[in-house]
């Protein structure tokens, strides 16, 4: 079968790889009908050391079940299913607490002989714990929005929860990428009153406004901090969603939060410490978040997508087949595209 393999920074190839096939009795074999390129795929795209064997890519996909292992009980061949960006058993201590990203028997796509999502098919481990049955056809018009539930919409929701967004709260969203935009949706959905997005790309800002952003701060650094304070009676936002992961964006996030407020971090941190200065502590700021346990949120978010209350699929502004994936990486890296959907 064909799949996406990264061989180093800027070097993404579509290659013929061994066909996906069942290995464990808890596996499902899924033919991919939609996949996506993630902002986090851009980190290795910028920095990966050259590798002969390469690394299988992709962790966001929807597809049709072709076959199941003998222990799989909740899905069957022919089902249309969605996978969150990590697989998990659904039964361990952490899964029961809703923290499937820390599943004791889970793992990541593309690692340890598990296929990546940016290919024709995937062996899904722990299928019962991982996959969500979709009650629509595989070419349903809602596919883009459903696909965001695999990662970015769930991640925006996680950021909002970690930042303690609730009715009436003031919210700042740092970053206008797909996750930031989904963070705006999540904040509005949870009842935020004021939603300030920090970003400077006109196309993305337009989407953010449609999603519910009430204010835009296009400045950066200290000027951005100043602007957010002006918009919040000089106090800062009660909830801040850090949706980038760079040191600068983290400093900004921690600088625009109000005393007693919370920063929800979902941008994968590129540094090894949190640059808090001293005020974070003295202001009793809570720092929370991490990789989103998307699986825990699917049941809650799915109805909102199916019934059209949220439309996160608008973050996809480009569609390609597998052959176009390398250029899709380039386009996202060059900020030509917000997020690329793949129809293998």
**Residues making contact with a second copy (CB under 8 A):** 93-94, 97, 99, 101-102, 162, 235, 259-260, 265, 268-269, 272-278, 280-291, 293
State the pairing for strand pair 237-242/257-265.
parallel
For residue 282, the minimal CB distance to a second copy (Å) is 6
Q: Closest separation between CB of residue 145 and a second copy, Å?
A: 25
Q: Which residues is 222 bridged to in the sheet?
A: none
Residue closer to a second copy, measured from CB, 110 or 293? 293
Q: Which H or E run contains 179? A: helix 178-189
Query: Tokens 């697989």 sit at which residue?
Result: 87
Cα dihedral 101, 37, 289, 221, rounded to 10, equals 160
Nearer to a second copy, 102 or 120 (CB): 102
Rounded Cα distance between 88 and 83, Å, is: 10
C-alpha to C-alpha distances, 137 to 64, 141, 232, nearest whole angstrom? 10, 9, 45
Q: Rounded to the nearest whole angstrom, what is the least distance from the CB of residue 97 to a second copy in the complex? A: 6
Task: Pick between residue 6 and residue 266 the one whose CB is nearest to a second copy.
Answer: 266
Q: Per the structure block, which two tokens stand in for 172?
A: 């700042």
CB 56 within 8 Å of CB 119: yes
Closest distance to a second copy from the beta carbon of 343 (Å): 31
Dihedral over Cα of 249, 197, 147, 34: its sign: negative
- Would you say 189 or 258 has its CB closer to a second copy? 258
Nearer to a second copy, 16 or 273 (CB): 273
How far apart are CB 136 and a second copy at their closest, in Å? 31
Element (H, E) at 132: strand 132-133
- Beta carbon nearer to a second copy, 52 or 112: 112
Number of other residues whose CB lies within 10 A of the CB of residue 274: 14
Q: What's the token pair of residue 58? A: 């992709």
Q: Pick the closer one to a second copy by CB: 143 or 263.
A: 263
- Minimum CB separation from a second copy for residue 174, in Å? 15
CB of 82 to a second copy, least distance (A): 22
């Amino acid at each position: 079968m064909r799949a996406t393999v990264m061989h180093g920074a800027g070097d993404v190839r579509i290659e013929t790889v061994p066909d996906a096939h069942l290995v464990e009795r808890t596996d499902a074999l899924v033919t991919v009908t939609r996949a996506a390129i993630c902002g986090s795929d851009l980190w290795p795209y910028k920095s990966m050391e050259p590798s002969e064997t390469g690394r299988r890519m992709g962790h966001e996909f929807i597809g049709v079940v072709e076959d199941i292992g003998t222990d799989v009980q909740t899905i069957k061949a022919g089902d249309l299913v969605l996978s969150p960006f990590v697989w998990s058993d659904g039964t361990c201590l952490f899964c029961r607490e809703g923290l499937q990203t820390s599943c004791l028997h889970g793992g990541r796509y593309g690692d340890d002989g598990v296929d990546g999502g940016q290919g024709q098919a995937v062996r899904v481990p722990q299928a019962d714990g991982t996959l969500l049955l979709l009650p629509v056809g595989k070419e349903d018009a809602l596919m883009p929005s459903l696909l965001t539930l695999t990662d970015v919409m769930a991640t925006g929701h996680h950021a909002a929860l970690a930042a303690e967004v609730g009715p009436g709260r003031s919210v700042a969203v740092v970053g206008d990428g797909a996750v930031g935009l989904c963070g705006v949706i999540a904040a509005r959905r949870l009842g935020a009153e004021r939603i300030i997005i920090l970003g400077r790309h006109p196309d993305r800002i337009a989407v953010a406004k449609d999603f519910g952003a009430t204010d835009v701060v296009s400045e950066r650094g200290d000027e951005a901090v100043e602007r957010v304070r002006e918009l919040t009676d000089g106090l800062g936002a009660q909830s801040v969603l850090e949706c980038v992961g760079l040191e600068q964006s983290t400093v900004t996030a921690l600088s625009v939060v109000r005393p007693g407020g919370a920063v929800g971090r979902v941008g994968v941190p590129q540094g090894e410490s949190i640059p808090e200065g001293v005020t974070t502590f003295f202001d009793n700021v809570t720092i929370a978040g991490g990789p989103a346990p998307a699986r825990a949120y699917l049941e809650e978010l799915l109805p909102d997508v199916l019934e059209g209350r949220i439309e996160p699929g608008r973050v996809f502004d480009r569609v390609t087949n597998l052959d176009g994936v390398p250029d899709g990486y380039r386009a996202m890296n060059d900020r030509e595209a917000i997020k690329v959907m793949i129809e293998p």
